[in-house]
Amino acid sequence: MRTKIGILLAGTATVCATGAAHAQTAAQNTTAGTTVSNTASVTYSVNGTAQTTNSTTASFVVDRKVNLTVIYDQPAATQVNLGQTAAYTRYKVTNTTNGTQDFLVNAFQSGIVGGLLTGTDDFNLTNFKVFVDTNGDGVYDPAVDTRTYIDELAPDNSVEVFIVGDVPATGTINQADVALQVIAATGGTANTQGAALVATDLSLGNADNTVDVVFADGDSDGIGVDIIRNGQGWAYGSYVIATRNVALTVNKTALILSDGVNALNPKALPGAVVEYCMIANNATLTASANSVTITDPVPANTTYVPGSLAIGLPGGTCTLLPTITAPFTGSYDTPNNRIIANLGTVIGGGIVAVSFKVTIN
Amino acid sequence: MHLPMPALLLASVIATPALAAGPLQVTAKVLTEQKTRAADGSVRVALVPARRVVPGDRVIFVLGYRNTGSQPIGNIVLDNPVPAAIAYRGPSQSSAAPDVSVDGKTYGPLATLRVRTADGATRAAGPDDVTNVRWRLANAVPGGAQGQLSFQAVLK
């Protein structure tokens, strides 16, 4: 029973009590585990004697409101080449929980629902892994970014996660779709992977003065892979084969070095030494040309100068050095009267010079 | 929206016993809204002791007072500092409206209060600025009588 005896004070309530919390970021949220206590101080008088007292103290512990966002943090699909290793897609994970959390990360590349991404998934990456951007530079560094879980992410902080894999060298492939799953986990211990959080049972008898886990995350994909309030976030990305050919050109020139008569301006006389120069250039900056071989027959009525084949950086009259520089190999093919220059891989934008000398018969 | 107030007034489930032994006993409680969905799809909101509270949740601070003596008690003033992690929102529907303060010194209706900004000017105070809530009971409380005051807030 309650007897209402309080009389309204002068002045009417002017505050509308419908306001919910203002839009807040997690950092402004009260940290999980904080105890909120309330005590009122009271003054009163009995028979004219002033007295004071305090109310009892009511308190509760702020529970953990688990939330996170996971986004595909790049403007378009990652462009890859056949046979490329350590190709990565980038994702950003933001902790919007009112506490520091670990997050578990898992990468998937099969069973991804179509329609989320444009194009059709027709190949899988090999050596498929997921790493956290430990040094925070937004670029996958194989030597540095080796952590496979997110460690101690403070409220409102973000970290990049990379899905990394090797592209097969199969010629017909076009696109690989991948998915990143992020699961909120227990934080609090640095350099230790926490266990995945489990929401506290709502019907638990005594949840007073303990930090309950309440999942407050949304459905990040709307297709049923992620569901609301499961403590997980998902994001999807893809790799597409960008280049199937490169603009590889070889430009050949001839230079008469000496004719035994004219020192200043040698002519193409019999006995003159002529240097042939071939400049190989890969003009496709984004892709390497592999297994590049140049074969050049020694022209009729000329004789190859033994040991004159040089392969390397361009410079001087053709090659900077008069020798075959590593990693290139090459030789004079005596039976077929031709030179063979193995340039191996010419990277995007790379230039390699090949020169050899002949004498005019 | 009607908030059914269960008969929890004297159940100090989460309150610690009062130290003072005077005739006026004041019991503090914190309640939170618990929404349950009935079979017909309607949502019922019940007030339950605050056990599960996360940032953004509505909480209701309740002060129950009772005159355990036989003499009437007059001039009752209950001053409730708003806890740090709590943002005041307004009086509860069933409660007398309190005076509020944004500095712990000057009390009045919120619309009359102003707060000083960093540049030295003043602006009208909002619910987030409230630091203290105070009720001043105009009438004496007879022996054995009791009552309840409450305000609504949000966990920051």
User: pLDDT tens, position by position, for chain A (361 residues)?
Assistant: 444 443 333 333 333 333 333 445 555 789 998 999 999 999 999 888 899 999 999 988 899 999 999 999 999 999 898 888 999 999 999 999 999 999 999 999 987 766 677 788 889 999 999 999 999 999 999 999 999 999 999 999 999 999 999 999 887 888 999 999 999 999 989 999 999 999 887 666 555 677 888 899 988 887 778 888 899 999 999 999 877 778 888 998 988 888 878 778 888 888 889 999 999 999 888 778 888 999 999 988 999 999 999 998 888 888 888 888 888 999 999 899 999 999 888 888 889 999 999 998 8
Q: What is the DSSP string of A298-354?
A: PPTTEEE-TT--EEESEETTEESSSSB-TT-EEEEETTTTEEEEEEEEE-TT-EEEE
Contact A343, A353 (CB under 8 A): no
Tell me if ipTM is over 0.85.
Answer: no
Closest listed residue to residue B110, CA positions, set B92, B91, B93: B91
Does the domain spanning B3-155 belong to CATH 1.20.120? no
Total-model pTM: 0.69
- What are the boundaries of each domain within chain B? 3-155
In B, minimum Cα distance to A66 occurs at B54
B-chain residues near A6 (CB < 8 A): 96, 135, 137, 139, 147, 149
Nearest by CB: B146 against A2, A12, A52: A2
A54·B22 Cβ contact <8 A: no
Closest listed residue to residue A213, CA positions, set A340, A357, A32: A32
Distance from CA of B64 to the nearest CA of A (A): 9
A19·B30 Cβ contact <8 A: no
Nearest by CB: B54 against A39, A41, A63: A63
Distance from CA of B119 to the nearest CA of A (A): 23
Interface check for A118 against chain B (CB to CB < 8 A): the answer is no
Enumerate residues 6+ apart whose C-beta is below 8 A from A137.
Answer: none
Nearest by CB: B99 against A9, A40, A62: A9
**What share of residues in chain B are helix, strand, coil (percent, to 5)?**
5, 45, 50
What is the side-by-side order of every strand in the sheet holding A232-243?
A: A78-81, A232-243, A175-185, A101-108, A149-153
B83·A38 Cβ contact <8 A: yes
Nearest by CB: A58 against B14, B20, B23: B14
3 state DSSP class of B6:
coil
Mutate to test the interface with A, among B34, B51, B134 (most CBs of A within 10 A): B51
**Terminal Cα-to-Cα distance of chain A (whole angstroms):** 125
B52·A29 Cβ contact <8 A: no
What pLDDT, on the 0 to 100 scale, is given for residue B78?
Answer: 93
- Strand pairing partners for B66? B25, B146
Enumerate residues 6+ apart whose C-beta is below 8 A from B144.
Answer: B67, B68, B70
The pair phi, psi for residue A44, each rounded to 5°, is -160, 175
- Strand pairing partners for A302? A360
A-chain residues near B66 (CB < 8 A): none
Contact A341, A291 (CB under 8 A): no
Token readout for B16 is 């610690």
Scan for tokens 């002060």, then name that residue: B63
Mean pLDDT, residues B95-123 taken together: 89
B-chain residues near A34 (CB < 8 A): 85
